[in-house]
Amino acid sequence: MTSPVTTPKETFLADYKQPDFLIDNVNLHFDLDPQHTKVISTLSVHKNPNTETADCVLDGEQLELVSVKINGRLLQGNEYLRTDKQLLISAVPEQFDLEIVTIIHPDKNTALEGLYYSGSLLCTQCEAEGFRRITYYPDRPDVMAVFTVTIAADKAAWPIMLANGNLAEQGVFEDGRHWVRWHDPHPKPSYLFALVAGDLYVQQDSFTTMSGREVKLEIFVDHENSHKCDHALMSLKQAMLWDEKTYGREYDLDVFMIVAVNDFNMGAMENKGLNIFNAACVLASPETATDNDYYTIQSIVGHEYFHNWSGNRVTCRDWFQLSLKEGFTVLRDQQFSSDLNSAAVQRIADVNQLRSMQFAEDAGPMAHPVRPASFIEISNFYTVTIYEKGAEVVGMIKTIVGAEGFRKGTDLYFKRHDGQAVTTDDFVTAIEDATKVDLTQFRRWYSQAGTPVVAVKTHYDHAKEVFSLTLSQTCPATPDQAEKQPFHIPVALGLLDADGNAMPLQLKGENLAALSNTIVLSLTEAEQTFTFVNVESSPVPSLLRGFSAPVRLDAIRTSSELAFLMANDSDSFNRWDAGQQLFINVLLGLVSAMKKDVELAVPHILVEQIESVLEDADTDPALVAKMLSIPSENYLAAQMQPADVDAIHRAREFLKTTLAKKFKKQFSAIYQYLNEQKKAYAFNADDMAKRSLKNTCLSFLMASNDPMQTQRCLKQMKDADNMTDLLAGLSLMADQKGPEAEHALRAFYEQWQHDRQVVDKWLTVQALSKQSDTLLRVKGLMKHPAFSMKNPNNVRAVIGQFCRNNPINFHAKDGSGYAFLAEQIIVLDKLNPQVASRQLGAFNSWQQYDADRQAMIKKALNNIASQKGLSPDVYEVVTKYLAAGE
Ligand code: 7MF
Ligand code: ZN
């Protein structure tokens, strides 16, 4: 294997050292021009009294250096040392002013890190290490400084010029240029720096904070999107109010700005006072955005806003602590969505995502702890483990200390560490200090990777009325760690009697039964028995209610036990979960029946449960839609070794068609009823739930292979006044062959070709088609004028969706999907390493497939690895994937 030019270096948490130089103030001056931007940076620097060296080392990449001055004196070329990554100035004074002038080329920046050109916009993305592509600087989060930013440019071309903080001054020059100066009084690390310039529409609003200060709110978008700002603005106000009420957090600048950008590597970025969003994560109108989009926008606007405290006021000491801000902030955005919409639906969606994505990561070659011990490229560690498992870990802390204790803990954390760059350990300590709960063992969740497995054994003694529950835990080895110590696992549990009623929960040795129907047990040892007394009849345990810990439950439960829980559990999450497990059992049964060539049949017990779910469709339509969703092919693949892609697909289709035919009358009636209730589009939990159930019914009806249903689907598309119903119809059509499907796709494009967000949906719908010629179509789409490899949303819409969410085609027997992905990654890596590396993620679980497929994937990985000049991003992932196969 050929390595990249220089083999990328690994960074270790254990090597953390305080910075040698600290910065009090940063003055940045930008002379903007897409081809050639001049940056003058003036830093007031002082030596860190806690460290030794007198060499001042600054990070900098892809910069043209014009000049360096110390205290006004121009340095000669021999007074500093430059590499492709650093600038070293030796023997500097204890305290000095440093002026550095650099030139950068935003128009050539296809990596979209640092300052870049997007359409007719100039904008920045600095997290994690993008600031070093703007100027030389100690680009690490534990160097916090007060920034003042002056921007100058031609007034006609760049009427809007934004940076962090409050607007301080502005003026015009005589030559048609103008300038603005922004000042951010809150010390911050360089990764939170932002600048935006361009000709943008602005929608304004205001919010009065809990102490009565008025904050100006502004959303900046392309002029053609002026009608798509309302939802984000509303979400922002909801988030501001929610954070005051729930965490006591008030906003701290005079203005809060959001900018929508078309080319963006991620979802959004929390730059202080100037959040920058991927346009797809902020713009919405009923005609162009689905319920899902509305929902995601609300939660991302919340997420970025919540970072103002969890991330900005209190930030990370180093990037190993990334989950300090991300895990906590994801928990906060999940709570926010839960409070504003349906708590059960939110929890189900979060757990679904965790299990299908994070469990796979934890079981694969890139497995890493919530606080990793090392990395090559930090951009590769913005993972579902850091985010989603990180959120679960903070959520478990909340479960253990209780809601009130948690609030005391976070209050102390924010107060104690305001203005500091700290560690996950500091966070846990603050909660401990506020609650006096010992979380020593709990800290292992931060340092040990892998998904623990909790096995369950039960025993009921009828004579003594004693129920004993024996829980044991193991955790599989991960590439970095062979042995694991037991975790502190909070297990929420209830007991149900034969009629499905809650039973009193009295642990042996305690005087009284618990006040609630659910208690939280602390599993801290490898094996532990919990004994309940006064249990009058043999109970059915409802374990891990609300998914109280990110573990796999290894409980042998019969289909009838699952059906019982599905029907009776008072915990709606566990009702859904029992249903999912029942689906999985049935589907795995179908897969093995296929192998034995036995005739396929759907077990009666599942049919019965679906029947009763459909019977109370109108009590909780959102939950019913969730109960009716069959586990994904990818998730099923993870439950099977080796995964049989084709059998899983066929089993799932068979199940869906069988249920569709059996309950055609019900699906039809519910569809009809909900469709007639339709009123003008509004985004709220109620209407969303109804549309979701309606479209679930439609998808079953389409699975019944009845041409009448296709007409129904086309009619829905024709009548739709919103993108939710239109797109639901279109994706069902795209799974079909024939002129009707082709016509629907063509008509959709013709109607929406002017709208980037909608065109991306059009691309995705085709990339996800079950039709066997989908790869061919995908290749055709990549030649379509609407597609650009330089646009991350386009790449994700086509390549990402095809490779991750179309398993039957991506894993085609001939290996064409694998060869395709390898080719695209090689092209992408030259343009945008972060996006390329993310797409590689589609190979994460490569070892779960059969030998033939493994061999073909390995060939694809070797093809990538043998390329010259790979980015560290792709290099790290491809090497780790290949190493797992050795
Ligand atoms: C909700 O975390 C949840 C996660 C980094 C970029 C946004 O605020 C962020 C940024 C990545 C992956 C996921 C998210 C973000 C990033 C994200 C957004 C909304 N600090 Br990379
Ligand atoms: Zn975040």
Tens-digit pLDDT profile for residues 165-224 = 999 999 999 999 999 999 999 999 999 999 999 999 999 999 999 999 999 999 999 999
The pLDDT value given to residue 616: 87
**DSSP state string for 755-799:** -HHHHHHHHHHHHT--STTHHHHHHHHTTSTT--TT-HHHHIIII
Q: How far is the CA of 274 from the centre of ligand 1 (A)?
A: 15
Whole-number Cα distances in Å, 500 to 539, 541, 552: 9, 11, 24
Q: Is residue 307 within 8 Å of 189, Cβ to Cβ?
A: no
Which stretch of DSSP H or E encloses residue 238? helix 230-247
Which residue has the least CA distance to atom 9 on ligand 1?
269
Residue 333 has pLDDT above 90, yes or no: yes
pLDDT at position 1: 45
State which of 113, 282, 296, 303 you would mutate to test the pocket of ligand 1, scoring each by most atoms of that ligand within 8 A of its C-beta. 303
SS3 of 178, please? Answer: strand
pLDDT of residue 54: 84
**Closest-approaching ligand to the CA atom of 302:** 1
Q: To the nearest 5 percent, what fractions of the chain are helix, strand and coil?
A: 45, 20, 35
What DSSP line would sit under 519-566, residue for residue?
A: EEEEE-SSEEEEEE----SPPEEEESTT--SS-EEE----HHHHHHHH
5 falls in which pLDDT band (50, 70, 90)? low
pLDDT digits (tens, 9 = 90+) for 677-690: 878 999 999 999 99
How much distance in Å is there from the Cα of 255 to the middle of ligand 1?
Answer: 22
Q: Kindly give the distance from the C-alpha atom of residue 688 to the centroid of ligand 1, in angstroms, as a whole number.
A: 25
Q: How far is the CA of 268 from the centre of ligand 1 (A)?
A: 6
| Calculated CA dihedral for residues 138, 140, 142, 146, nearest 10 degrees | 60
Percent of the chain scoring above 70 in pLDDT: 99
Q: Which atom of ligand 1 is nearest to the CA of 382?
A: 21
User: What is the position in ligand 1's atom list of the atom closest to the CA of 304?
Assistant: 8
The answer to whether 559 touches 585, Cβ cutoff 8 Å, is: yes
Q: What is the pLDDT of residues 581-597, one digit of tens each?
A: 999 999 999 999 999 98
Ligand 1 atom 10: residue of nearest CA: 269
304 assigned to active site: yes
Running DSSP on this structure, what letter comes out for residue 190?
A: G
The protein residue with its alpha carbon nearest to ligand 1, atom 16, reads 266
Q: How far is the CA of 387 from the centre of ligand 2 (A)?
A: 8
Integer Cα distance of 146 and 134 in angstroms? 17
Judge whether residue 6 has pLDDT over 80.
no
Closest atom of ligand 1 to 299 CA is 1
- Tens of pLDDT, residues 367-394: 999 999 999 999 999 999 999 999 999 9
Distance CA 59, CA 45 (A): 15
765 CA to centre of ligand 1 in angstroms: 24
pLDDT tens sequence across 795-807: 999 999 999 999 9
Q: Which of 129, 193, 266 to mutate to test the pocket of ligand 1 (most atoms within 8 A of CB)?
A: 266
Closest ligand by atom to 310 CA: 2
Nearest protein Cα to ligand 1, atom 2: 326
CA angle 836, 118, 379 (to 5 degrees): 35
- The protein residue whose alpha carbon is closest to atom 7 in ligand 1 is 268
CA–CA gap between residue 525 and residue 548 (Å, rounded): 17
**For residues 361 and 379, what is the distance between their CA atoms, to the nearest angstrom?**
16
Q: Which of 305, 382, 383, 873 to mutate to test the pocket of ligand 1 (most atoms within 8 A of CB)?
A: 382
- pLDDT score, position 2: 47
DSSP type of residue 410: H
Taking CA atoms only, the protein residue closest to ligand 1 atom 5 is 269
Q: What are phi and psi of 106, to 5 degrees?
A: -60, -30
Tell how far the Cα of 220 is from the centroid of ligand 1, in angstroms.
20
What pLDDT digit, counting tens, does each position of 725-746 carry?
999 999 999 999 999 999 999 9
Which ligand does the CA of 327 lie closest to?
2
303 CA → ligand 2 middle, Å: 6
CA distances to 332, 358, 366, 447 from 450, in Å: 24, 10, 11, 10
Counting from 1 in the atom list of ligand 1, the atom nearest the Cα of 307 is 8
Q: What is the pLDDT of residues 59-93, one digit of tens each?
A: 999 999 999 999 999 999 999 999 999 999 999 99
Q: Are 220 and 276 in contact (CB under 8 A)?
A: no
Tell the residue nearest (CA) to atom 17 of ligand 1.
267
Q: What is the largest CA-CA distance in the chain?
A: 96
Of all ligands present, the nearest one to the C-alpha of 384 is 1
The pLDDT tens digits of the residues spanning 543-557 come to: 999 999 999 999 889
CA dist 116 and 792 (Å) reads 14
* β-strand partners of 638: none
Instruction: Write the residue with the smallest CA distance to atom 6 of ligand 1.
Output: 266
Per-residue model confidence as pLDDT tens digits over 761-780: 999 999 999 999 999 999 99
330 C-alpha vs ligand 1 centroid, how far in Å?
9
Pocket of ligand 1 (CB under 6 A): 127, 266-270, 300, 303-304, 307, 326, 330, 333, 382, 387
Average pLDDT, the chain: 97
Residue 532: burial class (beta carbons within 10 Å; 0-12, 13-18, 19+): buried
The protein residue with its alpha carbon nearest to ligand 1, atom 14, reads 267
Name the residue at shortest CA distance from atom 20 of ligand 1. Answer: 269
Q: How far is the CA of 382 from the centre of ligand 1 (A)?
A: 8
Separation between Cα atoms, residue 837 and residue 820, nearest integer Å: 15
| Contacts of residue 482, Cβ cutoff 8 Å, sequence gap at least 6 | none
From 127, 129, 218, 304, active-site residue: 304
Res 3: pLDDT: 47
Q: Are 302 and 258 in contact (CB under 8 A)?
A: no
Mark the residues whose beta carbon lies below 5 A from ion ligand 2.
326, 329
Judged by its nearest atom, the ligand closest to the C-alpha of residue 835 is 1
Ligand nearest the Cα of residue 300 is: 1
Q: Please give the distance of CA 244 from its chain centroid, rounded to a whole number.
A: 24
Q: pTM higher than 0.75, yes or no? A: yes
Written in H, E and C, the secondary structure of 799-868 is: HHHHHHHCHHHHCCCCCHHHHHHHHHHHHHHHHCHHHHHHHHHHHCCHHHECHHHHHHHHHHHHHHHCCC
Report the C-alpha gap between 219 and 545 in whole angstroms: 40
